[in-house]
Amino acid sequence: MSRIVYTLTDESPQLATASLLPILRAFTAPAGVEVQTRDISLAARILAAFADDLPAAQRVPDALSELGALCRDPRANIVKLPNISASLPQLLAAIAELQEKGYAIPDYPHNPQSEAERRTRARYDAVKGSAVNPVLREGNSDRRPPQAVKEYARKHPHSMGEWRADSRTRIAAMEAGDFRANEVSHTVAADGHLDIVFVPQDGAEETLNAALPVKAGDIVDATFMDLAALDEFLREQIAAAQREGLLFSLHLKATMMKVSDPLIFGRCLRAFLPVTFSRHGEELAVAGIDPANGLAALLSALTDLPAGRGVANLVDRELAAGPRLAMVDSARGITNLHVPSDVIIDASLPAMIRAGGQMWDADGKLAETLAVVPDSSYAAVYQETVRDCRENGAFDPRTLGSVANVGLMAQKAEEYGSHDKTHQVTRDGRVEVRDSAGNVLLSREVKSGDIFRACLTADAAVRDWVRLAVERARISGQPAVFWLDDSRAHERALAEKVATYLPQHDTSGLDIRVLGQREATRFTLARFRAGDDTIAVTGNVLRDYLTDLFPIMELGTSAKMLSVVPLLAGGSLFETGAGGTAPKLAQMLTDANHLAWDSLGEYLAVGESLRLLAREGNAAASHLANALDSAVAKMLEEGCSPSEEEGGVDTRQSHFYLALFWAQEMAACPDADLAGRFAPLADALSSASWRVLEEIQQQRGNCVTLDGHYLPSAESLARAMRPSPTFTEIIDSALLAH
């Protein structure tokens, strides 16, 4: 029996899985394929963290650790859906929901005093933010748009906002004092370990991280965000937005960068409300109100303070006196500063660019924007894209090329593996990175409040990254560009490795080049507009940014990209696309009984997963994969994908069309035995199609009630996501038959 491990996650992907998974199981069973599940949702991760403290009936297995081990097994075949990289407000909401359901988990200790509270805090902090991806990504990333999706996008272009040559929208980033400017890098000479030590100007030194294992050739970086420089930059940008009449928007990734970016987010809220925090900052801190949690958490907490009404009035006055804020939801009054996890840079800035360089204001109108990206490490990509659109106009999806990506992300490479090595220092002093013998490899002078960060990038991951880039260039015939700036310490170290490892591969006839970030952006954008394809070979964070930016322009969404992670140990992880719209779409289901989550990413991932099984000797899996490709192409051409328009096709109807077309393709497949086994299913679905669609449509006006956002029961999910008794019976009967 072949095996595919399918992850259970959160919000819209979780809802869609309740409908899609029975279909996948019914179709793969005749091929001898078992689709198993592992729950890595936020709720499951929380419960696993406290399993020892819960009664046996409430314990859940640590599926994330299990999958992490599986990713080092050459037989791994995992389909990984988008999960919540929880910000603290999301974590707190999930904790409250689980407690209401009777799980005896502790409150989150905001200011731990005892050793027990510190242990509890550590367990929760290990769950929030990017807890999943660094564990599972034991390989580098290969992301590209499937040909059928690309062809459909050209024939049916999505809407693009108009760019004017005189647009005042711009991207502002720090020019000094940020992580990029302060970075130093070192390539480790021998196997051993590293210690990160804080040496204060007075007092005993403190070990921040002990015995970090490293191997010869690994790259270690150290840097810090200068808090004073950050505060001054934020004040300048707020004043500029006010002076120029632009919307002010802040763009971070407070989910993946779960330590540094919430701190930066909090400094921005302080800068926006200077009088509030100068007058009341101390009492707010005593009350446990942390600006890193956003404006919504601040306003909510004020209702419990004796002087809360007065402080809330002051906040309102400062907001009214400052520049207009970009809005996440104009109708509900949710601003760009309300919740740190609401505005994710790799989704929010492409959306602004697609809308003609505009974001929504409080009146629900689009307006020019000052987009603030404090750390300049990757801001040039967006600055160059905005410049290009101002000069050349909006992108035209009918003529655009494609930008695939080979991303360095294996073994917690670069910033996405830095969370445990990120610290806000509390005194002036120096942070040192020392080797096993106590030699100081890197050193940074810091002041109280500065945010120190260290990163590791494994030499083995870099070697594989270079190999994968050459392989993709050879297969595709496209130019491959390593985006590496010689002005940045870490990227200089990477470029040296690229220069060493490229000659170890056959690159004859290939166009492989190394360009700085601005040059790479210009080169790629020129080809993109000309309809030519390019491979961007980038580090981990830039991989995230580019695999949203270009697909959102050419396809309308990054969820339609094929994302394959060939694991270093063998086997593969197949990722299903972006989850940035998942909360909004889940809200649509409960509000209007309409879910517009497009499972195309899941279809693509399952197809590649089946092909991996075929390469391992399961011939039937190859037929399933080919038939699935044909079914997806037919869905796209016939307009069977979900629409956000109420009354249009929704996820549940779309899944029915997938099952119908897939069964029809399998009934006509070259394998006579398989074709005979699928023919009755194809006939049953075809005969019942009118009734199934009517049953789904009849439920559309009914209220949808789930018994939880983070941990809905299987029963409530089934009621919501399998509303057609006829379709349910056909699929369940097909599975039972095998």
Please give the angle made by the CA atoms of 637, 642 and 645, to the nearest 5 degrees: 115
3-class DSSP state for residue 703? coil
User: How many residues are recorded in the chain?
Assistant: 738
| pLDDT at 737 (0 to 100) | 77
Evaluate whether 549 touches 381 at the Cβ level (below 8 Å).
Answer: yes
pLDDT interval class at 468 (50, 70, 90): very high
Whole-angstrom distance, CA of residue 514 vs CA of residue 501: 13
pLDDT, one tens digit per residue, over 201-228 is 988 999 999 999 999 999 999 999 999 9
pLDDT interval class at 578 (50, 70, 90): low
| pLDDT at 244 (0 to 100) | 97
Please give the angle made by the CA atoms of 297, 541 and 568, to the nearest 5 degrees: 125
Q: Whose CA is closest to 181, among 425, 487, 483?
A: 487
Element (H, E) at 79: strand 77-80
Q: In Å, what is the CA distance from 671 to each residue of 303, 343, 380, 572? A: 67, 49, 53, 27
pLDDT, one tens digit per residue, over 261-306 is 999 999 999 999 999 999 999 889 888 889 999 999 999 999 888 8
pLDDT, one tens digit per residue, over 618-637 is 999 999 999 999 999 999 98
The secondary structure of 33-60 as a DSSP string is EEEEEEE-SHHHHHHHHTGGGS-GGG--
pLDDT, one tens digit per residue, over 158-192 is 999 999 999 999 999 999 999 999 999 999 999 99
Q: Is the pLDDT of residue 575 over 80?
A: yes
Can you list the alpha helix ranges (DSSP code H) found in 367-458?
379-392
| pLDDT at 648 (0 to 100) | 85
Neighbour count for residue 281 (Cβ, 10 Å) = 15
| pLDDT at 83 (0 to 100) | 86
Percent of the chain at pLDDT > 70 equals: 99
pTM: 0.88
| pLDDT at 582 (0 to 100) | 64
Q: Is the pLDDT of residue 122 over 80?
A: yes
| pLDDT at 557 (0 to 100) | 83
Whole-angstrom distance, CA of residue 689 vs CA of residue 726: 9
Evaluate whether 718 touches 731 at the Cβ level (below 8 Å).
Answer: no
Percent of the chain at pLDDT > 90 equals: 80
pLDDT interval class at 131 (50, 70, 90): confident
* DSSP letter assigned to residue 326: P
* DSSP letter assigned to residue 517: H
Six-digit token string for 473:
């260039």
**Burial readout 183-192 (b: 16 or more C-beta within 10 A, e: otherwise):** bebbbbeeeb
Q: Is the pLDDT of residue 705 over 60?
A: yes
Evaluate whether 460 touches 497 at the Cβ level (below 8 Å).
Answer: no
pLDDT, one tens digit per residue, over 494-505 is 999 999 999 999
Q: Rounded mean pLDDT of the chain?
A: 93
Mean pLDDT, range 17-31, rounded to an integer: 97
171-175, 454-458, 642-646: least confidently modelled range: 642-646
Evaluate whether 188 touches 220 at the Cβ level (below 8 Å).
Answer: yes
Whole-angstrom distance, CA of residue 263 vs CA of residue 234: 13
**φ, ψ at 198 (rounded to 5°):** -95, 125
Domain ranges of the chain: 2-138+567-692, 170-179+227-395, 186-225+414-457
* DSSP letter assigned to residue 483: E
Mean pLDDT, range 105-117, rounded to an integer: 91
| pLDDT at 594 (0 to 100) | 87
| Beta-bridge partner residues of 423 | 452
pLDDT interval class at 147 (50, 70, 90): confident
Whole-angstrom distance, CA of residue 106 vs CA of residue 552: 41
